[in-house]
Amino acid sequence: MTHTESSSQPMPPRRKFMRHALALAGSAQAATLATPAHSAPIGSALPAHQRNPGGTDTSYGQPATAEAAVVRTESKEAGFSVWRTPLQHQRGIITPGGLHFAVHHNGIPDIDPARHQLMLHGLVDRPLRLDWERLQRYPMVSKVHFLECAGNSAANALSPFAMDLPLGQLAGEVSCSEWTGIPLSLLMDEARPQPSAQWVIAEGADAGSHARSLPLQALRQHGMLALYQNGERLRPSQGYPMRLFVPGWEGNANVKWLHRLEFSDIPAHTKDESGLYTQVLSDGRIQRFALTMEVKSVITRPSGQQTLPSPRGHYEIEGLAWSGRGRIAHVEVSVDGGRSWTAAILHGPVLDRSFTRFTLPWQWQGQKAVLMSRATDEQGHTQPTRSTWKGRYAAHSFNHYNAIQAWAVDRDGRVENCYA
Ligand SMILES: Nc1nc2c(c(=O)[nH]1)N[C@H]1C(S)=C(S)[C@@H](COP(=O)(O)O)O[C@H]1N2
Ligand SMILES: [Mo]
Whether ligand 1 lies within 6 angstroms of the CB of 259 is answered as no
Whether ligand 1 lies within 6 angstroms of the CB of 327 is answered as no
Do both 280 and 178 map to the same domain? Answer: yes
Do both 300 and 231 map to the same domain? Answer: no
Q: Which of 233, 260, 287 is the last residue of a domain?
A: 287
Count of structural domains, the chain: 2
- Among candidate residues 301, 289, 142, the one with its CA nearest the CA of residue 216: 289
Report pLDDT for 17.
44
Which atom from ligand 1 is nearest to the alpha carbon of 151? 14
Do both 220 and 336 map to the same domain? Answer: no
- Tell me: pLDDT of 121 over 90: yes
Residue 58 lies in a domain: no
Whether ligand 1 lies within 6 angstroms of the CB of 251 is answered as yes
Residue 304 lies in a domain: yes
- Tell me: pLDDT of 244 over 50: yes
How far apart, in whole angstroms, are the C-alpha atoms of residue 295 and residue 419?
19
Do both 232 and 378 map to the same domain? Answer: no
Residue 46 lies in a domain: no
Q: Look up the CATH number of the domain holding residue 323.
A: 2.60.40.650
- What's the one-letter identity of residue 198? Q
Residue 247 lies in a domain: yes
Residue 50 lies in a domain: no
Q: Whole domain around residue 344: which residue ranges?
A: 296-418
Q: Name the band, by pLDDT with cuts 50, 70 and 90, for residue 274.
A: confident
Backbone angle region of 61, left / alpha / beta, with phi > 0 → left and psi within -120 to 50 → alpha: beta
Which atom from ligand 1 is nearest to the alpha carbon of 104? 7
Whether ligand 1 lies within 6 angstroms of the CB of 240 is answered as no
Residue 17 lies in a domain: no
Whether ligand 1 lies within 6 angstroms of the CB of 420 is answered as no
Do both 315 and 411 map to the same domain? Answer: yes
Pocket test for ligand 1, best of 149, 177, 213, 250 (most atoms within 8 A of CB): 149
Give pTM, 2 decimals: 0.92
Residue of minimum CA distance from atom 11 in ligand 1: 252
Do both 229 and 93 map to the same domain? Answer: yes
Do both 79 and 213 map to the same domain? Answer: yes
Residue of minimum CA distance from atom 2 in ligand 1: 256
Average pLDDT of the residues in 380-384: 98
Q: How far is CA 102 from the centre of its chain?
A: 11
Do both 243 and 272 map to the same domain? Answer: yes
For residues 16 and 50, the model is more confident at 50
Report pLDDT for 26.
46
Whether ligand 1 lies within 6 angstroms of the CB of 149 is answered as yes
Q: Look up the CATH number of the domain holding residue 204.
A: 3.90.420.10
Do both 326 and 236 map to the same domain? Answer: no
Which phi and psi angles does 225 have, rounded to 5°? -90, 100
Q: How far is CA 317 from the centre of its chain?
A: 19
Strand partners, 234: none
Q: How many helices (H) and strands (E) does the chain have?
A: 9, 24
How far apart, in whole angstroms, are the C-alpha atoms of residue 73 and residue 89?
13
Q: Which of 260, 287, 314 is the last residue of a domain?
A: 287
Report pLDDT for 143.
98
Do both 152 and 227 map to the same domain? Answer: yes
Do both 214 and 195 map to the same domain? Answer: yes
**pLDDT, tens digit, 9 for 90 and up, residues 197-210:** 999 999 999 999 99
Q: Name the band, by pLDDT with cuts 50, 70 and 90, for residue 33.
A: confident
For residues 24 and 391, the model is more confident at 391
Whether ligand 1 lies within 6 angstroms of the CB of 238 is answered as yes
**Nearest listed ligand to the Cα of residue 210:** 1
Q: Which of 267, 287, 307 is the last residue of a domain?
A: 287
Residue 10 lies in a domain: no
- Tell me: pLDDT of 240 over 90: yes
Residue 399 lies in a domain: yes
Report pLDDT for 41.
66
> How many residues in total does the chain contain?
420
- Tell me: pLDDT of 32 over 50: yes
Distance 112 CA to ligand 2 centre (A): 25
Strand partners, 292: 249
Do both 171 and 273 map to the same domain? Answer: yes
Extended beta strands in 29-92, E state = 73-77, 80-84
Whether ligand 1 lies within 6 angstroms of the CB of 204 is answered as yes
Whether ligand 1 lies within 6 angstroms of the CB of 256 is answered as yes
Check if the beta carbon of residue 263 is closer than 8 Å to that of residue 193: yes
